[in-house]
Structure 1
Amino acid sequence: MTRIPMISAAIAATLGLAACEPASPPVPGSTIPTGPYVLVGIGSDTVPQRNVGMTIGADGSISGRAPCNTYSASQSAEPPAFALGSLTRTEMACGGLAGRLESRYFQALSAANGITFEGGVLTIKGPTYLTYEPGYRKE
């Protein structure tokens, strides 16, 4: 392989990875980028459906949509700490796999006490870790 195709491939890979980083400024006083995220892991399990989304606001608050219900909450701690206020959510019926995922997600989110952003991955920490990538939930 000649040097020019190798350099072109390296540049393309770098630009592709850069596109994964959120472009929004961080929450004031932290390194946590604001903007949309999609849940990719809960505990040691992956979430292949990509049907849980969360947006971090400029004030650190969160809002989003799980498989069936929307939700929001204020967040009062300075990262890397994480302390949600009351989690407000709609009350749509949600059964089956979607219902189990949603219930597990809200339990983990309510018990969370830490947040980090490293290597393009957002992690909300607690008894059960929630792992997110920048992006939007799948409809």
Structure 2
Amino acid sequence: MTRIPLISAAIAATLGLAACEPTTSSTPGANIPTGPYVLVGIGSDTVPQRNVGMTIEADGSISGQAPCNHYSAPQTAEPPGFALGPIVTTKMGCGGGAGRLERRYLEALQGANGITFEGGVLTVQGPTYLTYEPGYRKEK
């Protein structure tokens, strides 16, 4: 007789916790958690500096900080699709390795056409894949 209340409580607690994680989509298999991410890979290269961040907002739009400039863009596709409107950036000078990374990153982001979240890894797919982990970019 005490098992039914315990089972009911366990189910209610599980459902309550599941409702706490915001996502951008209700499409099965395409739930993308909102919040901050840090870039750890671009194409087949790692990004050990962890100096590129992206935040996914509840409406699907993105914003973040590349090595030198802040950026933002509306996202118009339903996950697992991914289509950005124009990326708006600040216009700070950015040379050397940081400038090359920033240009490569923003080009890959603009050309992206898919997004997935599996095993704690966010992948933005396109001609050049971008791989993120939840978290914040490393400040200088």
Q: 1:24 deviation in Å?
A: 4.1
Does the Cα contact within 8 Å between 2:63 and 2:70 map onto a contact in 1?
A: yes
| Contact 2:25/2:79, CA 8 A, preserved across alignment | no
Aligned to 1:15: none
Deviation at 1:25, TM superposition (A): 1.0
> Where do residues 7-46 of structure 1 align in structure 2 (5 Å cutoff)?
24-29=21-26, 30-46=30-46
**What is the number of equivalent residue pairs in this alignment?**
117
The letter of the residue matching 1:35 is: G
- Partners in 2 of 1:111 and 1:76 — Cα distance? 13
What pairs with 1:1-139 in structure 2 (closer than 5 Å)? Answer: 24-29=21-26, 30-139=30-139
Between the aligned partners of 2:54 and 2:37, the Cα distance in structure 1 is: 5
The answer to whether the Cα contact below 8 Å between 1:24 and 1:35 also exists between their aligned partners in 2 is: no
SS at match of 1:85: coil
Structure 1, unmatched stretches of 5+, are 1-22
Bigger radius of gyration, 1 or 2? 2
CA RMSD of aligned residues (A): 1.0
Deviations 1:32-73 (A, max 9, x none): 000000000000000000000000000000000000000000
- Please list every run of 5 or more consecutive structure 2 residues that lacks an aligned counterpart in the other structure: 1-19
Distance 2:21 2:50 in 1: 21
- Cα deviation, residue 28, structure 1: 3.4
Please report the TM-score for the alignment, with normalisation by the length of structure 2: 0.81
Q: Deviations over 1:86-127 (max 9, x none)?
A: 100011000011000000000000000000000000000000
Structure-1-length-normalised TM-score? 0.82
Q: SS at the partner of 2:124?
A: strand
